[in-house]
Chains A and B, each alone.
Chain A
Amino acid sequence: MLKDLFSKKKKYASIPNEQAKLDVPEGLMKKCDSCYKIFYRKEMNKNLNVCPNCGHHHQLRAWERIESLFDEGTFQEWDSGLAPSNPLGFPGYEEKLQKDREKTGLNEGVVTGKGLIDGQATAFAVMDSSFRMGSMGSVMGERIARAIENAKEQSLPFIIFTASGGARMQEGVLSLMQMSKTSVAIKRFSEAGGLMISVMTHPTTGGVSASFASLGDYNFAEPGALIGFAGRRIIEQTTREKLPDDFQTAEFLFKHGQLDQVVHRHDLKQLLVTILKIHEKGGTSS
């Protein structure tokens, strides 16, 4: 019988325990989140985490991004010694930070510094959403503000790659105020003639989208990135409106005039290099 054919083939899936999961060092294979095709991880990595089949852009970690853009060995990190405290005494916050430090090898959701992109000195900030969803607290605000100030003082252009769920709840209103702090820094930099480029990657939402991510002289985004102010669920609950499938994607924003370009990851470096060249050193108008 046809039925027996299936029932005989019982399969047991073994579910690895937590420890086993940690022991497997980033498996050999990687399945695309979009088309579910399986590739060698090496192949995917070489392709900058873009699916070779469907072109889906998987997230890049902060240091992978740095490696993908900067001339080898030229990147110097700034302010790595700044670490989050627990200013509100929020229960459970320190444990969460500790867990993410171990998981990611980072001590915050942003890396800042400077280096050479195709020979051009550039101040840089890149967010990493694997650390507390890239949420913005005091340290992130401080590192970004300092990076912008450094760019101003050293007459460097400033490029930022954003990836963030928004403000960090556990730092309350202090995290909200990082929006204004970074924005004031950008204004000073801009007044001095500094060039700022913002590249929004998946996801860029809430307070980050409503501050520095939107404040570049040029604003770009990677294909398919989720970008928006209010969360989709909140909008649906408040307005009971049917939202289009592409709502709050990079393409949606582009269509509504909110972005200069949606740029494939493979083309990003060349685009940045060209813009840097056109602005020469892109520093202050001295």
Chain B
Amino acid sequence: MKQILEFEKPIVNLKEKIAELKKFTDDSEIDLSEEIITLEKRLAILEDDIYGNLKPWQRVQMARHQERPTTLDYINELFTDFVEFHGDRSFGDDEAIVSGIAFYKDTPITVIGHQRGKNTKENLRRNFGMPHPEGYRKALRHMKQAEKFNRPIITFIDTKGADPGKESEERGQSEAIARNLMEMAGLTVPIICIVIGEGGSGGALALGVGDRIHMLENSTYSVISPEGAAALLWKDSGLAQKAAESMKITAPDLHELGIIDEIIPEPKGGAHRDIKEQAKNIDLVLDKSLNELKNVSEDVLLEQRWEKYKQIGDYKEL
């Protein structure tokens, strides 16, 4: 079953009608091809209208779409010879984060990303893409290796947030996230972060300190989920839609706020409509970013990283 979002229903209905007419034309003597052409034109306009003007809440739904491509999908499309490594060497392996090495074109890279599932079984295995502390520690271990072997780091961000649970607190979820933020600040290799789905809070940020931050057109990045914000601010999680609009969480919003570098376009109807095309769009931006960064000296790289984060914020000086 394909997941159809509420606002896509007019498109789906029209598509069904066109299919019906086509079938009718094929099966009978009556030629309806003119009607079909008219309807197809109307469909194109309708698609442009709906997908071209997505509201924040609709983008949230896109970012959470069941079939939305995940980290492993993009690893398959973009890299070759991927080898996955496991474990944090202290406690265990966390399958909510995948991490390994591969070639990007001819360049060896380290790739790390949140991994959620596309169905219940996978999601249970992946803890819905919500990492435990050992996930972040595994990621950090691999980032340090990347530094040792002078490999650029590419991260894919796609999580509702870090795991909220008793054991995560016991094992120092806060410390694990904080440590990653600090250590990523000092890595002497280029880091490119791409938000592919939901960028939820500190759990997303812990893979998100880098030299370039990009977002897919329909991904989100926020300090708290719209539901959580609505519950906190207005004591009503039903106001999530309003929160999504007030909190400025879409790629265009973050671009305007000066937090991200580029918005990576998605195929009409979202990344899940055409993974290959989506990967191609990511490829263009990734290639450009790596080329910009590959000859930058370590000192300059770190200085620029600091400059990048230093300027984020908005305040008055009295």
Whether A associates with B in a native complex is: yes
Interface residues of A (CB under 8 A from B): 81-85, 87-88, 90-91, 138-139, 141-142, 145, 167, 169, 171-181, 183-188, 190-191, 206-207, 209-215, 227-231, 234-235, 238-239, 241, 243, 247-248, 256-258
Contact among B209, B247, B318 with A172 in the assembled complex (CB-CB below 8 Å): B247
| Chain A nearest CB, measured from B77 CB (Å) | 28
Specify which chain B residues have a CB less than 8 angstroms from the CB of A90 in the assembled complex: 246
The answer to whether B315 touches A167, judged by C-beta atoms less than 8 angstroms apart, is no
Chain A: which residue is nearest B253 at the CB level? A173
Which of A173, A213, A230, A257 is within 8 Å of B221, CB to CB?
A: A173
Residue in chain A with minimal CB distance to B172: A258
Across the interface, A177 reaches (CB within 8 A) one of B172, B313, B317, namely B313
Bound CA span A146–B259, Å: 19
Cβ contact within 8 Å between B315 and A85: yes
Q: Is the CB of B223 within 8 A of A207?
A: yes
Please tell me if B166 contacts chain A, counting CB pairs below 8 Å.
Answer: yes
Chain B residues closer than 8 Å to A258, beta-carbon distance? 172, 174-175
Closest approach, in angstroms, between the C-beta of A77 and any C-beta of chain B? 13
CA distance A101 to B164 in the complex (A): 33
Please indicate the chain B residues that have their CB under 8 angstroms from the CB of A243 in the complex. Answer: 166
Which one, B26-34, B46-54, B98-106, B178-186, is touching chain A?
Answer: B178-186
A141 near B178: Cβ-Cβ < 8 Å: no
B222 cross-chain contacts in A, Cβ below 8 A: 172-173, 176
8 Å CB contact of A173 from B183, B249, B306, B317: B249
Q: Mark out the residues of chain B between 143 and 201 whose CB falls within 8 Å of any chain A CB in the assembled complex.
A: 162, 164-166, 168-175, 177-179, 181-183, 185-186, 201
Complex: A187 Cα to B164 Cα, angstroms: 27
Given contacts A169-B224, A169-B233, A207-B223, whether A88 and B246 have CB atoms under 8 Å apart is yes
The verdict on A211 contacting B166 (CB below 8 Å), with A176-B223, A184-B185 known, is no
Interface mask (B239-254 → A, CB under 8 Å = 1, otherwise 0): 0000000111100011
**Contact assessment for B315 and A82 in the assembled complex, using a CB-CB cutoff below 8 Å:** yes
What's the nearest-Cβ distance from chain A to residue B91, in Å? 12
Tell whether, in the assembled complex, residue B313 and residue A88 are in contact, meaning their CB atoms are under 8 Å apart: no
**B60 contacts chain A at the CB level, 8 A cutoff:** no
Q: A29 vs B99: C-alpha distance in the bound complex, in angstroms?
A: 58
Nearest CB on B from A237, distance (A) = 9
A-B contact pairs, 21 of them (CB 8 A): A83-B316, A85-B316, A88-B246, A169-B229, A169-B233, A169-B247, A172-B223, A173-B248, A173-B257, A180-B205, A183-B185, A184-B309, A206-B202, A207-B223, A211-B178, A214-B172, A228-B169, A229-B169, A235-B169, A256-B170, A257-B172
| Residues in A whose Cβ lies below 8 Å from that of B1 | none
Query: Which residues from chain A contact B253 at a C-beta distance below 8 Å?
Result: 173
A256 to chain B, nearest CB (A): 5
How far apart are B110's CB and chain A's nearest CB, in angstroms? Answer: 19
Binary CB contact string for chain B from 30 to 59 against chain A (1 if under 8 A, 0 otherwise): 000000000000000000000000000000
Q: How far is the CA of A188 from the CA of B302 in the complex (A)?
A: 9
Q: How far is the CA of A239 from the CA of B314 in the complex (A)?
A: 37
A30 to B98, CA, bound (A): 54
A-B contact count (CB 8 A): 190
Other contacts beyond A181-B309, A188-B186: 11, CB < 8 A: A82-B316, A90-B246, A138-B313, A139-B315, A141-B313, A176-B221, A179-B202, A180-B312, A209-B174, A210-B174, A230-B169
Find chain A residues with CB under 8 A from B247 CB: 88, 169, 172-173
Closest to A87 in B: B314
Main secondary structure of the interface of B (DSSP, over half): helix
Give bound CA distance, A165 to B206, whole Å: 19
Instruction: State how many angstroms separate the Cβ of B35 from the closest Cβ of chain A.
Output: 47
Taken together as a complex, chains A and B put the C-alpha atoms of A214 and B175 apart, in Å, by 5
Contacts of A178 in B (CB 8 A): 312-313
Q: A183-B182, A235-B164 are in contact. Are A210 and B177 (CB under 8 A)?
A: yes
* CA–CA, A238 and B309, complex, Å: 33
- Across-interface contacts of B168 in A (CB, < 8 A): 229-230
Q: Is the CB of A247 within 8 A of B205?
A: no
> Could you tell me which residues of chain B, from 274 to 318, have a CB within 8 Å of some CB in chain A?
302, 305-306, 309-310, 312-318
Distance, CA A228 to CA B174, complexed state (A) = 7
CB distance from B242 to the nearest CB of A (A): 10
B178 touches A210 (CB 8 A): yes
Given A207-B223, A243-B166, are A181 and B313 also a contact pair (CB < 8 Å)? yes
Task: Say how far A73's CB is from chain B's closest CB, in angstroms.
Answer: 25
Are the CB atoms of B229 and A173 closer together than 8 Å?
no
Task: Please report the C-alpha to C-alpha distance between residue A216 and residue B228 in the assembled complex, in whole angstroms.
Answer: 29
Q: Kindly state the separation between the CA atoms of A188 and B310 in the bound complex, as whole angstroms.
A: 12
Contact (Cβ within 8 A) B166 A241: yes
Check if B316 sits within 8 Å of A215, measured CB to CB.
no
Nearest to A242 among chain B residues (CB) is B166
Instruction: Provide the bound-state CA to CA distance between A175 and B313, in Å.
Output: 8
Q: Is the CB of A248 within 8 A of B169?
A: yes
- The distance in angstroms between the C-alpha atoms of A186 and B184, with both chains bound, is 12
How far, in whole Å, are A210 and B253 apart by their CA atoms in the complex? 25
In the bound complex, residues from chain A placing their C-beta under 8 Å from that of B202 are 176, 179, 206-207, 210-211, 229
Closest residue on chain B to residue A172 by CB atoms? B247
Chain B nearest CB, measured from A183 CB (Å)? 4
Write out the residue numbers on chain A whose beta carbons fall within 8 Å of the beta carbon of B172.
214, 256-258
Q: Is B129's beta carbon under 8 Å from chain A?
A: no
Closest Cβ of chain A to B24, distance in Å, is: 50
